[in-house]
Amino acid sequence: MESILERLQRGDVIVGDGAIGTELMKRGLRRGDPPESYNLLKPEVLEEVAALYLAAGAEIMTTNTFGASPLRLRQFCLEKDTEAINRLAVEAVRRAVSHKAYISGSVGPSALSLRPAGDAEPAAISASFERQLRALVSAGADMICIETMTDTTEAVLAVRAARAVSPKIPVMATMSFQKSPQGFSTMTGDSVRNAAEALLDAGADIVGSNCGNGMEDMVSIAREFRACTRKPIAINGNAGLPVVMDSGLVYPETPEFMAARAAELLEIGIQIIGGCCGTGPEHIRAIRRAVDERR
């Protein structure tokens, strides 16, 4: 396949996939269990989800490795399986999509707090990310997605770890922001501009935002990113903020609503558009139509 960076440089718009966790819950994942356990126990489910997103028009497939760094797996006594969990995730997606889509190795936060706010040492966090990233790159991931980061310092450590493991692999880094009267900022208080500049300085090729917000607020976040960089931007919004119902968590944004916001993102110049929590194949199919109509 042509490199995703070559396509972005040419001006292409690329549609990403949607949520993995909520799709696994529909297929039996119990609340509280690590989604990464499916890599060892039910890889065929990962294939099924990837195939559905491919059929919906997604061109980036995220691996089920969000929590697959050894420090995060340790809380489930799965640290010893770090390499297998990451490798099997890549292999499952590859079986489903072959080379019809980019396989994006997902790297999420360590779930630990860095010093001085917490007890985690930066060197330990970096080493944990590097171990996961080596497994993803060795397994054949086409790109790396460092996602749902709320601490810019930790996100920078992850980007640098990716660059240490593979200087050439495309690296996408997306932050989660919260809204306040002063605007959008990370949980640690960084503005969109400050986060974007830090990630790009660390070596990210693509920056943006995922999770934490529905597509309405994501449009505003996208404008802030566009105002501070001409680098490619990725936006992967939730299907709204979840509402607790008798049946469980319900995400209110319909495929049609998300597609309408995707059209606004295209006007801003966003080149990667996908979904996060609560989005499924129907949301991605609607976003695909919006992108194709614009094209």
**Distances, alpha carbon 163 to alpha carbons 130, 136, 194, 205, in Å:** 9, 13, 20, 11
Closest CA to 107 of 159, 57, 151: 159
151: left (phi over 0), alpha (psi -120 to 50) or beta: beta
Q: Contact at 8 Å (CB) between 64 and 24? A: yes
Beta strands (DSSP E) in the chain are: 14-15, 60-62, 102-107, 143-149, 171-175, 178-180, 183-185, 206-214, 233-238, 243-245, 248-250, 272-275
Residue 285 is encoded by which pair of tokens? 């199919």
- How many percent of the chain have pLDDT more than 90? 92
Q: Angle at Cα 238 formed by Cα 237 and Cα 244, nearest 5°? A: 165
9-13, 152-156, 226-230, 241-245: which has the minimum mean pLDDT? Answer: 241-245
Q: Contact at 8 Å (CB) between 48 and 38? A: no
For the chain, the farthest-separated pair of C-alpha atoms sits apart, in whole angstroms, at 50
pLDDT of residue 250: 87
Looking at domain 4-294, its CATH architecture is: Alpha-Beta Barrel (3.20)
pLDDT of residue 182: 85
pLDDT of residue 72: 97
pLDDT of residue 130: 98
Q: What would the DSSP string read from start to end of 14-67? A: EEB---SHHHHHHTTPPTTS-TTHHHHH-HHHHHHHHHHHHHHT-SEEE-S-TT
Contact residues for 170 (Cβ-Cβ < 8 A; gap 6+): 3, 4, 5, 142, 143, 144, 205, 206
Phi first, then psi, for residue 159 (nearest 5°) are: -65, -45
pLDDT of residue 117: 83
Domain boundaries, the chain: 4-294
Residue 295's pLDDT band (cuts 50, 70, 90): confident
pLDDT of residue 181: 87
**pLDDT above 90 for 255:** yes
Give residue-wise pLDDT tens across range 29-70: 998 999 999 999 999 999 999 999 999 999 999 999 999 999
Distance CA 105, CA 137 (A): 8
Q: Contact at 8 Å (CB) between 209 and 225? A: yes
49-63, 104-118, 228-242, 243-257: which has the minimum mean pLDDT? Answer: 243-257
Q: Determine the average pLDDT of the residues in 228-255.
A: 91
pLDDT of residue 150: 97
Q: Angle at Cα 91 formed by Cα 87 and Cα 97, nearest 5°? A: 150
**Distances, alpha carbon 120 to alpha carbons 71, 81, 105, 286, in Å:** 10, 22, 24, 42
Residue 171's pLDDT band (cuts 50, 70, 90): very high
pLDDT of residue 135: 98
Closest CA to 146 of 134, 155, 135, 136: 155
pLDDT of residue 242: 85
Q: Contact at 8 Å (CB) between 196 and 156? A: no
Phi first, then psi, for residue 64 (nearest 5°) are: -85, 65
Residue 248's pLDDT band (cuts 50, 70, 90): confident
